[in-house]
Amino acid sequence: MDDFPARLRAIADLQAAEMREAAGRHEYDGRITDLSPEAVRQGLARLGQGERFADPHDDAHATAAEDALRVQLGDLELHRSNPLWHIGELDLSVYDKDYAPAEQRDEARLRHLAAWPDAVGNAVAALDRVSAPVAGSLLASVRGLAAGVPADAPQDLREAALAAHRRLVGHLEAAARDGDPSAALGGAALTRLMGTSEATAVDLGRLAELADAERDRLAGRMAESAARIDPSRAPLDLARELVRDHPDADGVLTEARRWTAHAIAFTRERDLVPYHDGECVVGVAPESARWGTAMLSWAAPAEADGKTHYYVTPPEPEWEPAEAEEWLEVFSATTLPAISVHEVAPGHFSHSRALRRAPGAVRRTLFSYAFIEGWAHYAEELCVDEGFGDYAEQALGDPRFTSAHFELGVWLEALIRVTRLAAAIGVHTGTMTVEDAAARFAADTTLAGPAALSEARRATFDPTYGRYTWGKLEILALRDRAEERWGSGYTTRRFHTAMLDLGAPPLGLLGTAVDRG
């Protein structure tokens, strides 16, 4: 697209997968970012070239994206230690979205598949610093990439791609066996990684204190909600019993669809967000994305409008019954409503509808994931304040589900998110092992066994996954500023519109919403 600004093109060229999936820049279909060391150096050298953006906020937003890539791929060289960069580039699931005619998407998928051998060669050359914990945590996702290879692809193309895939799997199996036993980035590296992308200064010690304080606040709210259900029980004991009430593997999709409909209807009735259009459908996550329990693939800003996909991950058929049972607790009758609010409305799905209308190419292309996840996490507690629990209780007419159950689910999900922040800081500053982090999940949340360990392992390859709580806390602080600044002119809808008009801004630039809103 010729009207795409040169500065944005240089940023986009270093992350084709992000551009295809999140931004909807489908000129990158069938293309894979060359993440070999020399190509990355050349790409970084092109950053910042081109005209400045007329809007100071947009210019600062673009600068934050450039600075983030310089740290991620330059200073820290994460493409050499984190396979996620390469998994995203190899992933074919984007072509399942209905953003274009099937024939066009199928052709792009085959061009993409044809690039696998070169991409894997670059990945193997680059990935020379993969720690054993990171490799072990991501092996299942790397293996799952093969499920996206079309069975009806030309035989020679298919065989070449699968041979390359086996080479990458073998490389990571070796790293899982022989790699560095520590995945810690170090405090200084984590500080730069978090701060540059969000255009703000980061104090890890202060963030750790905030995480502990937020955990205590959430535990208090959980105790209040639990007491309305059964005052004789300790809150976490009650919660651990409640999460055992869940659908079976086949019923997860049915329940997710039901809560999706309720979340959308409630958000529209309360008019909580600027836009209420679009279609959200529920399905099983593609194999390459099954390291997470639930996620959203939205109709992106630069592509033709289409369905948004809310993906959930039921347990794998080959799992042991006890392992599957623990995984299914994530989709309990208590927690699935909060998850659906987060993923759908007024969370990610609602946000995606605003992103499509955000003014200017910067806001429709460059996204802060601390804001994206912070907004969706904020949306959960917003729904407590706005009365979604009472709404759902009346809609269901089921005496086993009350507003207190919904609230309890929100606090349980929030406790998982705040534990992520603590775990990320602990694992990457070396004050926690993965096992320590799993133990904290087991102590402070209802997660246990493989679910707790999965959350802890995620810290190794997703070092900024504390972004959920961090983003939420920044949005709550901004809301306080807006209420003070706007006085009687403050409304929830005005505040949300002012923020979402910025797209998904770096946390350090959120103040623009209050200044201009």
Residues 22-51 pLDDT 10s: 999 999 999 999 999 999 999 999 999 889
> In angstroms, rounded to a whole number, what is the distance separating the alpha carbons of residues 336 and 333?
6
What mean pLDDT value characterizes the chain? 94
Closest CA to 94 of 142, 154, 158, 30: 30
Q: What's the pLDDT at 318? A: 85
Rounded to an integer, the average pLDDT of 278-297 is: 81
> In angstroms, rounded to a whole number, what is the distance separating the alpha carbons of residues 293 and 314?
8
pLDDT band of residue 380 (cuts 50, 70, 90) is: very high
Rounded to an integer, the average pLDDT of 175-204 is: 97
The residue type of 327 is: W
Residue 287 pLDDT > 70, yes or no? Answer: no
Q: At what angle do helices 252-270 and 388-396 cross, to 10 degrees?
A: 120
Closest CA to 451 of 322, 338, 334, 310: 322
pLDDT band of residue 289 (cuts 50, 70, 90) is: low
Q: What's the pLDDT at 398? A: 83
Rounded to an integer, the average pLDDT of 249-275 is: 95
Residue 216 CA neighbour count, 13 Å, CB half: 5
pLDDT band of residue 1 (cuts 50, 70, 90) is: very low
Q: Hey, which bits of 59-124 come out as E strands?
A: none
Q: What's the pLDDT at 313? A: 86
Residue 2 pLDDT > 70, yes or no? Answer: no
- What distance lies between CA 60 and its chain's CA centroid? 23
Residue 64 pLDDT > 50, yes or no? Answer: yes
Q: What's the pLDDT at 450? A: 79
Rounded to an integer, the average pLDDT of 287-309 is: 84
Rounded to an integer, the average pLDDT of 74-102 is: 94
Q: 32 and 115 in contact (C-beta within 8 Å)?
A: yes
> In angstroms, rounded to a whole number, what is the distance separating the alpha carbons of residues 135 and 177?
9
Cβ neighbour number for residue 351 with a 10 Å cutoff: 25
Structure confidence by residue, pLDDT tens digits, 299-349: 999 998 999 999 998 888 888 888 888 888 889 999 999 999 999 999 999
C-alpha angle 289-148-292 in degrees, rounded to nearest 5: 5
Q: What's the pLDDT at 291? A: 58
Q: What's the pLDDT at 319? A: 84
All residues at 6 or more sequence positions from 449 whose CB lies less than 8 Å from its CB, including other chains: 322, 323, 326
Torsion (CA) 208, 212, 214, 217 in degrees, nearest 10: -170
Q: Give the tokens for residue 456.
A: 């802890």
Q: 306 and 99 in contact (C-beta within 8 Å)?
A: yes
Structure confidence by residue, pLDDT tens digits, 475-513: 999 999 999 999 999 999 999 999 999 999 999 999 999
> In angstroms, rounded to a whole number, what is the distance separating the alpha carbons of residues 259 and 438?
29
> In angstroms, rounded to a whole number, what is the distance separating the alpha carbons of residues 398 and 126?
55
pLDDT band of residue 249 (cuts 50, 70, 90) is: confident
Cβ-based burial of 457 (10 A; exposed 0-12, middle 13-18, buried ≥19) = buried
Sheet holding 280-284, edge to edge: 280-284, 308-312, 294-297
